[in-house]
A and B are shown apart, each in its own frame.
Chain A
Amino acid sequence: MRLELTGKSFAGRPVLGPLHLTVERGQRMAVLGPSGIGKSTLLRILAGLDRDFGGRLESREKVAVVFQEPVLLPWQRAVANITLPTGCTEAEARRLMAEVGLAGQEDKFPRQLSLGQQRRLSLARAFAARPDILLMDEPFASLDRETAGRMMDLTARLLDRSGAGLVLITHDAAEASGLGAELFRLAGSPAALVRDERAG
């Protein structure tokens, strides 16, 4: 996946400046930066959700997204929240649910699950799509430290096994290190992407 961005504006106000970004299977990178700098905008461009930008996105890879909120279909049971969007079999969905620690919750509706469980379901859904590149937008935000740690270990394990690449949007360098991701930082106005030297 290769992004050659010349610029991205909202209502005439430049948000992202020129930047080049390449990511492939097996490669992990994290984009850090303060709130409002344009991290989520960058992720939406990479996901193909925002096409109104200057430049070019080349992507033959299969992409899946773990959104900041779980974004589940509230009227569908947990297992259908994996099979319907991804088209995977029910057996595969159940296997993935067991892997993320949701065995026995298959027939519950999302609102009957805790936030941590909903996020794990969203993670299982992303891997059910068998992505080449996984895009994650602050996936551990608003989770308590213990739950966030467990979910990070889980993500690392699934990434190892599937060999998928990762673009992690976060404001916490520790999360990026925990997943073994190369650190980049969005800074300036309009924001540019720079390698985070402090993290080496």
Chain B
Amino acid sequence: MLSVLLLLAAWWAVAAWAGDPRTMPSPWEVTERIAGLAASGELWLHAGATLLRVLASFAIAMALGTALGLWMGRARAADRWLNPVLVIGLNMPALVVIVLAYIWIGLNEVAAVTAVALNKIPVTAVMLREGSRALRPDLDDMARVFRMGAWSRLRHVVLPQLAPHVAAAARAGLSLIWKIVLVVEFLGRSNGVGFKIHLLFSSFDVAGVLAWALAFVAVMLAIDLLVLRPWEAGANRWRRDEA
């Protein structure tokens, strides 16, 4: 909290020193812009469009990245074959993937979501692969001896062990994904926070750019506090001592 206040104070000081609200608006001016956008309804419309893209890409990237990471962590042959593809995926610039997706699939929602998901899948896969390598073999033996079904084994034996890795991948993933979604919108969508920033960039409206960016950071912060943290607390309940 103190660090946020210090950051605000520094911002205020720099804005006052610059003395030019067009290049460096004060926090107060940006807050006023956010309030105006919220009151007009524009904020909810565009932030909503961005949020939907973030959620769709996030769900696809987490599901496919987890499955891929689990497979590579458990099967040495899969790891050997897929590792080069994963390294290429990790090092491919996001911009290249986005441009190619727009060219090959078209300037549409499918291309936008696919491009973002493709950027995130390798990161999730690497994190989950490391987690899968650390799965407890004794629990595997137990599940095999008692002939637990594949789904039951995944749900009750494997995924709970991976929960900390899934949580880390989810947190890192959300912050990465929303930044890529903005680029996707900047380049080829007609709504969303990225699209609005594109418009404001052409008129050099710094207060507007900061207003949209900070408003969406607040949305992501809310998701972290209201969704991710409670889920993590629930998943880690068994670690706590109870009477």
Q: Which residues of A contact B (CB under 8 A)?
A: 44, 47-49, 63-65, 67, 69, 71, 73-76, 84-86, 108-109, 111-112, 125, 129
Closest approach, in angstroms, between the C-beta of B155 and any C-beta of chain A? 9
Contact of B138 among A69, A111, A112 (CB under 8 A): A69
User: Is the pair B156, A67 in contact by a Cβ cutoff of 8 Å?
Assistant: no
Given contacts A69-B138, A84-B152, A84-B156, whether A75 and B238 have CB atoms under 8 Å apart is yes
> Considering only CB atoms, which chain A residue lies closest to B143 in the complex?
A85
B148 touches A49 (CB 8 A): no
Provide the residues of chain B in CB contact with A112, threshold 8 Å.
Answer: 241-242
Cβ of B145 within 8 Å of any chain A Cβ, yes or no, is yes
**A76 contacts B145, C-beta separation under 8 Å:** no
Which chain B residues lie closer than 8 Å to A84 at the CB level? 148, 152, 156
Which residues of chain B from 37 to 83 have a CB within 8 Å of any chain A CB?
none
Name the residue on B nearest A47 (C-beta): B145
In B138-194, the 8 Å CB interface with A consists of 138-139, 141-146, 148, 152, 156-157, 160
Residues of chain A contacted by B239 (CB below 8 angstroms): 111
Complex CA distance for A1 and B157, rounded to whole angstroms: 28
Interface centre among A67, A73, A86, A111, by most chain B C-beta atoms within 10 angstroms, is A73
| B residues near A74, Cβ cutoff 8 Å | 238
Residues of the A chain whose Cβ atoms lie less than 8 Å from the Cβ of B241: 111-112
Residues of A within 8 A of B156 (CB): 73, 76, 84
Kindly state the separation between the CA atoms of A71 and B142 in the bound complex, as whole angstroms: 7
Q: Is the CB of A67 within 8 A of B242?
A: no
Note all chain B residues with C-beta closer than 8 A to A64: 145-146
A150 vs chain B, min Cβ distance (A):
24
Give the complex CA separation of A76 and B156 in angstroms. 8
For the complex, give the distance between the alpha carbons of A47 and B239 in Å. Answer: 31
Asked if B160 and A75 make an inter-chain contact with CB atoms under 8 angstroms apart, the answer reads yes
Give 1 or 0 for each of B221-241: 1 = CB within 8 Å of chain A CB. Answer: 000000000000001001101
- Chain B residue numbers with a CB within 8 Å of A67 are 138, 141-142
Residues of B within 8 A of A75 (CB): 160, 235, 238
Q: How far, in whole Å, are A86 and B239 apart by their CA atoms in the complex?
A: 24
Q: B139 to chain A: which residues have CB within 8 Å?
A: 71, 73
A30 CA to B143 CA, complexed, in Å: 25
CB distance from B33 to the nearest CB of A (A): 46
23 contacts between A and B (CB under 8 A): A47-B141, A48-B145, A49-B141, A67-B138, A67-B141, A67-B142, A71-B138, A71-B141, A75-B235, A75-B238, A84-B148, A85-B142, A85-B146, A85-B148, A86-B146, A108-B242, A109-B238, A109-B242, A111-B238, A111-B241, A112-B242, A125-B146, A129-B146
Nearest CB in chain B to that of A65: its residue: B145
Q: Which residues of A contact B148 (CB under 8 A)?
A: 84-85
Chain B CB count within 10 A is highest, among A44, A85, A112, for: A85
A76–B238 CA distance with the chains assembled, in angstroms: 7
Q: How far is the CB of B231 from chain A (nearest CB, A)?
A: 14
Kindly list chain A residues whose C-beta atoms are within 8 Å of the C-beta of B141: 44, 47, 49, 65, 67, 71
Q: Which residue of A lies closest to B160 (CB)?
A: A75
Residues of B within 8 A of A44 (CB): 141
Question: Is A49's CB under 8 angstroms from B145's CB?
Answer: yes
User: Closest Cβ of chain B: how far from A66's Cβ, in Å?
Assistant: 10
Q: How far is the CA of A86 from the CA of B149 in the complex (A)?
A: 10
Determine the residue in chain A with the shortest Cβ distance to B140: A49
Closest Cβ neighbor of B235 among chain A residues: A75
With A and B bound together, what is the CA distance between A75 and B235 in angstroms?
A: 8
A164 to B180, CA, bound (A): 61
Task: State in angstroms the CA–CA spacing of A64 and B144 once bound together.
Answer: 10
Cα–Cα distance between A25 and B241 once the two chains are bound (Å): 42
- Contacting residue for B160 out of A48, A49, A73, A125, CB 8 A: A73
Closest A-chain residue to B145, C-beta based?
A: A65
Minimum Cβ distance to chain A for residue B237 (Å): 8
Name 14 extra pairs, CB < 8 A, besides A65-B142, A71-B142: A44-B141, A47-B141, A47-B145, A48-B145, A49-B141, A63-B145, A64-B146, A67-B142, A71-B139, A74-B238, A85-B148, A111-B238, A111-B239, A112-B241
